[in-house]
Amino acid sequence: MAQPQNTAEQSVDQKTIVSMRNVNKWFGQFHVLRDINLSVDKGERIVVCGPSGSGKSTLIRCLNRLEKHQDGDIFVHGIELNNDVKNIDEIRREVGMVFQHFNLFPHLSILENCMLAPIWVRKTPRAEAEEIAMHFLTRVKIPEQASKYPGQLSGGQQQRVAIARALCMQPQLMLFDEPTSALDPEMIKEVLDTMVELADDGMTMICVTHEMGFARRVADRVIFMDEGQIVEQNEPEAFFNNPKSDRTKLFLSQILGH
């Protein structure tokens, strides 16, 4: 099961890192993801936007099996997501995720937060794990906070630690689930700056966010979701200046209207 059955698909394009085909998902009676088709290339930066409840978060949470899709195929990094625990483990190792509410471990110091996964998942020696952690903490510009606890940091700092923590696993793909929506305005910028830097370094990213400035500046592609479907996707210029679907127009007028 480690290798997907349809090798044909994979051989077509080795550059594809995510491919979702005809994916459907229900919460009880509620059809939250409707016929999702998406493929993401290595190095691509994708911004997913849409009104709340449109299934954006569910979409990216399906990519590392925090949610289970019930219909269709998802391949991440060439591995099929199914019930096989080994596949799930492998995919989660390669996919980093940043949450809206940071979800740092409050009982561990910043450094320990960053070292946990390298040590217990990658089986990295401690010294090396510490080195990696400090490297990425430096990259998000808070190496001096390493010995503090999450509760002692500001929201923006916490979110940057969360990004560093995910990077410590050196993932191929980073998922961002509304990383700035729980932050005060003055902290949003520091997190976005970190994300822009990450994007400039060529990291493959899928971001659920309402930060349209970020989308314009960084995204290769903007995806608009509504009622569980991908309604429109385009490069940012075209998406923002010339939306095609009425729903996209309405959404854009609402969030850019003031």
Near another protein in 160-179, by CB under 8 A: 162, 165-166, 169, 175
- In angstroms, what is the minimal distance from the CB of 33 to another protein? 9
Residue 246, φ and ψ in degrees, nearest 5: -60, -40
Where are the alpha helices (H) located in 96-235, listed in sequence order? 110-120, 126-139, 155-167, 185-200, 212-218
Of residues 238 and 255, the one with the C-beta less far from another protein:
238
125 interacts with another protein by CB under 8 A: yes
Report the candidate in 120, 29, 40, 119 with the shortest Cα–Cα distance to residue 77: 40
117 interacts with another protein by CB under 8 A: yes
Structure tokens at 116: 């946990």
- Residues of span 69-108 touching another protein by CB under 8 A: 70-71, 83-85, 89, 92-93, 95-97, 99, 101, 103-107
189 interacts with another protein by CB under 8 A: no
- Residues of span 16-45 touching another protein by CB under 8 A: 16, 19, 21-22, 24, 26, 28-29, 31, 34-35, 37-39, 41-44
Give the distance, in angstroms, between the CA of residue 58 and the centroid of all CA atoms in the same chain.
Answer: 11
Q: Classify burial at 100, counting beta carbons within 10 Å of its beta carbon; exposed 0-12, middle 13-18, buried 19 or more.
A: middle
Count of CB atoms situated within 10 Å of the CB of 186: 10
- In angstroms, what is the minimal distance from the CB of 55 to another protein? 11
- In angstroms, what is the minimal distance from the CB of 258 to another protein? 26
Of residues 103 and 181, the one with the C-beta less far from another protein:
103
Of residues 126 and 213, the one with the C-beta less far from another protein:
126
229 interacts with another protein by CB under 8 A: yes
Cα–Cα distance list, 88 to 4, 11, 67, 71, 84 (Å): 13, 21, 12, 17, 6
116 interacts with another protein by CB under 8 A: yes
233 interacts with another protein by CB under 8 A: yes
* Contact by Cβ (8 Å): 206, 173: yes
Of residues 63 and 258, the one with the C-beta less far from another protein:
63
151 interacts with another protein by CB under 8 A: yes
- Amino acid identity for residue 47 in this structure: V
CA distance 177 to 58: 9
Which of 128, 131, 184, 186 lies at the binding interface for another protein (CB under 8 A)? 128
